[in-house]
Amino acid sequence: MNNNYAIGVFDSGMGGLTSVKELNELLPGEDIIYFGDTARIPYGSRSRETVLRYAREDVAFLLKHKIKMIIAACGTVSSVIGSEPLVDNMPFTGVLLPAAQAACAATKTGKIGVIGTPATIRSGSFGKAIKAIMPHAKVIGNACPLFVHLVENGYTARDCQITRLAAEEYLTPIKAEGVDTLILGCTHYPVIKDIIADIMGEGVKLISPGAEAAKYAQSCLMSADMLNEEGHVGKNTFYVSDSRELFEENAKHFLEHPVSGEVFSCNLGE
Catalytic residues: 74, 186
Rounded CA separation 95/74 (Å): 7
What's the distance, CA 148 to chain centroid? 12
Name the maximum alpha-carbon separation found in the chain: 50
DSSP codes, 156-188: --TT-HHHHHHHHHHHHHHHHTT-SEEEE-STT
List the one residue out of 17, 268, 250, 244 whose CA is nearest residue 149.
250
93: Cβ contacts below 8 Å, ≥ 6 apart: 69, 70, 71, 72, 213, 216, 217, 220
Size (the chain), residues: 270
Encode 196-232: b = buried (16+ Cβ within 10 Å), e = exposed: beebbeeebbbbbbbbbbbbbbbeebeeeebbbeeee
10 Å CB burial of residue 45 (0-12, 13-18, 19+) is: middle
170 close to 114: Cβ distance less than 8 angstroms: no
DSSP codes, 51-87: HHHHHHHHHHHHTTS-EEEEEE--HHHHHHHTT--S-
43 close to 14: Cβ distance less than 8 angstroms: no
